[in-house]
Amino acid sequence: MLSQKLARLPSASRTVLRRNQAPTRYRIPRSSFLCASRRCLSTSANAVEKEGQTRLSTIFTILLGLGIASAGYGIYQFYQTFTLWPPAVRADLRAGMKAKNQGDLVLSERYLKRALHTAESLPLSDFSHEPYLKLSGISIVLAEVLEANNKPSEAYEVHSNALDRLKKAISYSEQLKIQELASGVPTAKNTPTHETELVLTGPERLRAVAIACKLGEMADRYQLGDAEEEKWLTWAVEEMLRTLVDMRQHHKTSEDAKREDKQKDVQLVLAELSLPKWVTKTDVGAPIEALGTFYAKTGKVDYAMTLYLQAISILMPPAGSGNTTSAEDSCRAAQLMSSLSELIMRRTPTPENLHQAEAWAQQALAVVNKTVKTARGDPEQIAGCEAALGAVLFNLGSLREMNNDHAAAKDYFTTSLQQSNRIQSQEGMLEAANALRRLERLDRAEATKKTTDA
């Protein structure tokens, strides 16, 4: 079970699995979604990242990017109607956003800090429905301004404080639920009290997951250590699973029964994904994939593969489940399949491992081709597939090369080069061109050897 797997996730201090020597693999561009690579390729010439540096920025782009939170509860959505905010906060919040949009980060920081300070001093009842979304929204935008103004330490602290506030509310919510189970009397939801205000809604808990993912990304970006990054990403996945389980959980007469049901229910939730409107597949899959990417980066391949498989099952549920898959989700799933193939290629190149790696790469290629065909050329829907295609073709070429099938490898590398050139992926073009030159050298050396032997 996934819950049992998560319970056994290793600490950063354990032995890192040895990475096997193999031909260079073309990795999925992080700008489209997360990848399991040591070096990610970008879809634009000016977005190439430094080699060896794995960044989790896409996860924040998906959940919070540019101030937009997960599950459709966008921060700017709140700002567009400032009447949703307490009067004491509106003026500073409006001025801070105006300064931010005008590029005056110093002035924006001043107003947003004052808005946050004021908001934290107000009773939760002043914020009406879902107060923690609004409180954390100010923190997120303030942290964004601080980071843009080259103050990452302050931004990290703002995010951390916002998450601490949410975690305390989550803990209090759990205590109230336990009290309900013990007393058999549910908390009245129609009569707001101090207690009911502290009970987080589903979207508020997703906000906590999103902030934890951002902290994990920042821990990696600013080199705060693997343990710090792992701490945030693991908590994000665990909280996401708890949220999904609680969403389906029926009240039981004992906490032991409730805990046992949670263990059984995690797989059911992830497999069926009968999600409410405020949860998307991206909300569920992104934290799981982010943690998988972390374990791939640190060499814990088995853990990364487990998480990638779960993310794939979320994006592309099995046939007959009643859940449909969008073109964007299919493209992301294809990217993950290619990354999964690359992870298997890191293992000892036994015939079985090479077969599994090629099977996943071929599956990724099939998904890309089918999605591109059904999407009828819509560039926005198939952008992820366009980025994945070059990587999938390159990995298939690498696998053919490892099987000493140089003719097929050349065909794949050539097609990968053409695709990379078409989408203007500079690193993709470089990798494919280098692979073709390497094969040419090998073929010349083999021809020379045969001539000498003759």
Cα–Cα distance between 277 and 400 in angstroms, integer? 44
Q: For position 347, what pLDDT does the model report?
A: 87
Residue 301 lies in a domain: no
Whole-number pLDDT of residue 42: 27
Residue 425: name the closest of 377, 393, 378 by CA: 393
Q: Indicate whether 422 pLDDT > 50.
A: yes
Residue 187 lies in a domain: yes
Answer whether residue 153 shows pLDDT above 60: yes
Q: Which two tokens stand for residue 59?
A: 């996860």
Is 138 inside any structural domain?
yes
Band of the pLDDT at 317, cuts 50, 70, 90? confident
Q: Which residue, among 98, 215, 99, has the nearest Cα to 147 in the 3D structure?
A: 215
What is the chain's mean pLDDT, rounded?
75
Measure CA 152 to chain center. 21
Q: Which residue has the higher pLDDT, 365 or 189?
A: 365
CA torsion 343→344→345→347, rounded to 10°? Answer: 100
Rounded to the nearest 10°, the torsion over CA 135, 137, 142, 148 is: 160
Alpha carbon 397 to its chain's center = 27
Is residue 263 predicted with pLDDT exceeding 70?
no
Residue 160 CA to residue 23 CA, distance in Å, equals 41
Residue 355 lies in a domain: no
Among candidate residues 242, 334, 341, the one with its CA nearest the CA of residue 296: 341
Q: Considering the domain boundaries, does residue 405 fall inside one?
A: no
Element (H, E) at 331: helix 327-345
Task: Over range 339-348, report the average pLDDT.
Answer: 90
The 10s digit of each residue's pLDDT in 387-413 is 899 999 999 999 999 999 999 999 999
CA distance 169 to 22: 48
pLDDT in the model for residue 73: 36
Lowest mean pLDDT among 34-38, 86-90, 148-152: 34-38
Over residues 238-255, mean pLDDT = 66
Q: Is the pLDDT of residue 279 over 60?
A: yes
Which structural domain range is residue 202 located in?
54-281
Q: Is the pLDDT of residue 204 over 70?
A: yes
Under 8 Å between Cβ of 264 and 46: no
Q: How confident is the model at residue 152 (pLDDT cuts 50, 70, 90)?
A: very high
- For position 125, what pLDDT does the model report? 87
In whole angstroms, what is the distance from residue 253 CA to residue 388 CA?
49
How many angstroms separate the CA atoms of 315 and 108, rounded? 38
Any domain includes 373: no
Residue 210 falls inside a structural domain: yes
Which residues are CB-neighbours of 75 under 8 A, at least 6 positions away?
67, 68, 69, 137, 140, 141
Higher-scoring residue by pLDDT: 357, 10: 357
**How high is the pLDDT of residue 449?**
80
Q: What is the DSSP letter of 124?
A: G
Spell out the residues 6+ positions from residue 320 whose beta carbon is closer than 8 angstroms to its own: none
Mean pLDDT value of segment 38-53: 31
**First and final CA of the chain: distance in angstroms?**
59
Pairwise CA distance, residues 191 & 24, whole Å: 62
> What are the residues whose beta carbons fall under 8 Å from the beta carbon of 275, sequence distance 6 or more?
244, 281, 284
Residue 441's SS3 state is: helix
pLDDT surpasses 70 at 326 = yes
167-185 in b/e form (b: 16+ CB < 10 A) is: bebbeebeeebeeebeeee
What average pLDDT does the segment 181-210 reach?
Answer: 67
Q: Which stretch of 79-93, 176-190, 407-421 has the lowest confidence by average pLDDT?
A: 176-190
Mean pLDDT of the 14-27 span: 34
pLDDT bracket for residue 16 (50, 70, 90): very low
Confidence band for 44, pLDDT divided at 50, 70 and 90: very low
Residue-wise DSSP of 44-72: SGGGPPPTT----HHHHHHHTGGGPPGGG
3-state SS class at 29: coil
* The predicted structure's pLDDT at residue 130: 87
* DSSP classification of residue 320: T
Q: What is the pLDDT of residue 229?
A: 95
Q: Is residue 6 in some structural domain?
A: no
330, 371 contact by CB (below 8 A): yes
The rounded distance, in Å, linking the Cα atoms of 219 and 155 is: 12
- Residue 169, token pair as written in the block: 């509310």
Q: How many domains, the chain?
A: 1
Residue 378 has pLDDT above 90, yes or no: no
Res. 276: pLDDT tops 80: no
